[in-house]
Chains A and B, each alone.
Chain A
Amino acid sequence: MTSIAFWGAVELGLVYAFVGIGVYLAFRILDFPDLTVDGSFPLGAGVAAVLITSGVNPWLASLAAMVAGAMAGLVTATLNVRFKILHLLASILTMIALFSVNLRVMGRPNIAIITQETVLTPFYSLGIPDYYVRPAFVGVLVAVAVFLVARFLSSDFGLAMRATGANQRMARANGIDTGVHVYTGMALSNALVGLAGALFAQTNGFADVTSGLGTIVVGLAAVIVGETLLPSRYIALALVGCVLGSVVYRIAVQLALSADVIGLKASDLNLATAVLVTIALVLPRLRGRGSA
């Protein structure tokens, strides 16, 4: 693997770290299996790309992508909390709907922004190679996100959100309006995924309506690999684990793809991811049975 390929994998891993954190919030904190992310990732990318090509400040465009993601999360939460649709099904409905919405937003399946000014443009002129600038820039944003989310989850409000996912009955008995916390958590989760989409578009120079396929599995892979590498009861470390998991996962994929011996093609990526996540899910269970 070349140095450029390595740093490319790190960069992609850091972009998807936002997805990892988002999926962690939904799956682990709220216990809400949320497939909305497959739609909110390209939504974030599309919103950012459309705004950037029409001359909007790229930071504002990225913020708009987060708001769009949050709204997608709120739709899923409303279907579940207000209309009592099973959480998994609610998220699938939103995901499917978002495919059409994303085509409407973008107006076409693919938008190139390679020549446009992005949040990264000012840093390209620092005289450092681009393939260092991108992961460094995204890494700083990830660090800020980890700090803010960890701080949020340690607050009274955040703790109530964790209780909502862990034990709804106990949460209500302690005066916690569980609905409010599902709404907030799902909005936050999908806002982070929307931001990931916006950053993906800006680091790669395009937004594509099909880029969301399997986002949930990649996010889960980050969470699970992170939990294996960095098992911790501390929320901040668990979030760092998601970031680490996402980066390690991307490097592993890059290694597998560049090793000619294995004979994998780029198009085998989704299969490889699904197999990896399945193994990670099944292994702890098999281990438990072995010792029993």
Chain B
Amino acid sequence: MIRISDLGVVFGKGTPLEKRAIEKIDLEISEGEFVSVIGSNGAGKSTLLGAVAGDVLPDRGRIEVGDVDVTRWRTAKRAGLVARVFQDPLAGSCGTLTIEENLALALSRGTRRGLGLAVTRARRAAFVERVAELGLGLESRLADRMGLLSGGQRQALSLLMATMTESRVLLLDEHTAALDPGMAEFVLDLTRRIVEERGLTTLMVTHSMRQALDHGTRTIMLHEGRIILDVSGAERAGLGVDDLVEMFRKVRGQELSDDALLIG
């Protein structure tokens, strides 16, 4: 469960470059809901995600994750509640560490890290099982460096790492944008499978309206730091990309200018 109330984020406050990234956002996401977030460049999508993750500290408002007020918590402290997958496949794992070491890092998320061995026999067996579920054949390469893998393979593992421990919220920041179409499809399917299996509360930022409607249970659209559209259930089920564009136009009274939103 995520509750965001009266959120406001300003970058470069008091300087000539001051930018109101988030004007005012109120959003309540219930347990197990899968929300896709769309909006043109600069609409505030990534800032919203960053605010929930802790990378961006808000100037105003309150953020609660599962009834805990995390507004002033730093990223590392929130990590026990919030898991995330970055857009850049290289950002979510350590290229110089092996696959199993990366998995061990993710396994200890939200717990105290002691001096016990990180990769034990028992843990390795569990890793083999989990990685095999991906169907990429990586379970036989656990001792290989992460840096040897392709972007798609790394992103699939990042998703696995993010969902390895129990967390309340999963944040996906355009996590398929940097992948080739085939791999993007694979990672999206994997996302759907894992989110459904675990009943995770998920917030997924995407650039593609098609993707936003095809995945998840609810879609919100951001524009200039505000939520201008919030659809779910039956209303959302019948929607196509054209309808979204039409609704956007109605709400904003202007033509949708960002072509990138229409593609895909």
Which residues of A come within 8 Å of B, CB atoms? 152, 154-160, 162-163, 166-167, 169-178, 233
Question: Hey, which chain A residues are within 8 Å of B95, CB to CB?
Answer: 166-167
Question: Hey, which chain B residues are within 8 Å of A233, CB to CB?
Answer: 98, 145
Chain A residue at minimum C-beta to C-beta distance from B53 = A173
Query: Which stretch from B22-30, B99-107, B194-202, B203-211 is at the chain A interface?
Result: B99-107
Question: Hey, which chain B residues are within 8 Å of A171, CB to CB?
Answer: 76, 105
Q: Confirm or deny: B114 has a beta carbon within 8 angstroms of a beta carbon on chain A.
A: yes
Bound complex: CA of A172 vs CA of B91, how far in Å? Answer: 11
A162, B94: Cβ atoms under 8 Å? yes
Known: A166-B96, A173-B84, A178-B76. A155 touches B105 (CB 8 A): no
A167, B76: Cβ atoms under 8 Å? no
Report the interface size class on chain B: 35 or more
> Contact check: which of A158, A170, A174 meets B118 at CB < 8 Å?
A158
- Within the complex, what minimum Cβ distance (angstroms) separates A180 from chain B? 9
Bound complex: CA of A210 vs CA of B63, how far in Å? Answer: 56
Question: Hey, which chain A residues are within 8 Å of B119, CB to CB?
Answer: 154
Bound complex: CA of A115 vs CA of B110, how far in Å? Answer: 55
Can you add 6 more A-B contacts, CB < 8 Å, to A154-B118, A158-B115, A171-B105? A155-B115, A156-B114, A156-B117, A159-B113, A174-B105, A175-B109
Some 15 contacts from A to B, beta carbons below 8 A apart, are: A154-B117, A155-B114, A156-B116, A156-B117, A158-B118, A163-B94, A167-B93, A167-B94, A170-B91, A173-B84, A173-B86, A174-B105, A175-B80, A175-B111, A176-B105
| B interface, over-half SS | loop
Bound complex: CA of A172 vs CA of B101, how far in Å? Answer: 16
Q: Confirm or deny: B149 has a beta carbon within 8 angstroms of a beta carbon on chain A.
A: no
Q: Confirm or deny: B92 has a beta carbon within 8 angstroms of a beta carbon on chain A.
A: yes
Interface centre among B53, B106, B145 (most CB of A within 10 A): B106
- Within the complex, what minimum Cβ distance (angstroms) separates A84 from chain B? 15
Interface centre among B83, B97, B105 (most CB of A within 10 A): B105
Bound complex: CA of A162 vs CA of B104, how far in Å? Answer: 12
Known: A170-B91, A173-B84, A233-B98. A155 touches B117 (CB 8 A): yes
Q: Confirm or deny: B41 has a beta carbon within 8 angstroms of a beta carbon on chain A.
A: no
> Contact check: which of B53, B97, B110 meets A163 at CB < 8 Å?
B97
Question: Hey, which chain B residues are within 8 Å of A167, CB to CB?
Answer: 91, 93-95
Interface centre among B110, B114, B118, B161 (most CB of A within 10 A): B118
> Contact check: which of A162, A163, A172 meets B75 at CB < 8 Å?
A172
Chain A residue at minimum C-beta to C-beta distance from B161 = A174
Bound complex: CA of A152 vs CA of B93, how far in Å? Answer: 21
Bound complex: CA of A173 vs CA of B79, how far in Å? Answer: 6
Q: Confirm or deny: B232 has a beta carbon within 8 angstroms of a beta carbon on chain A.
A: no
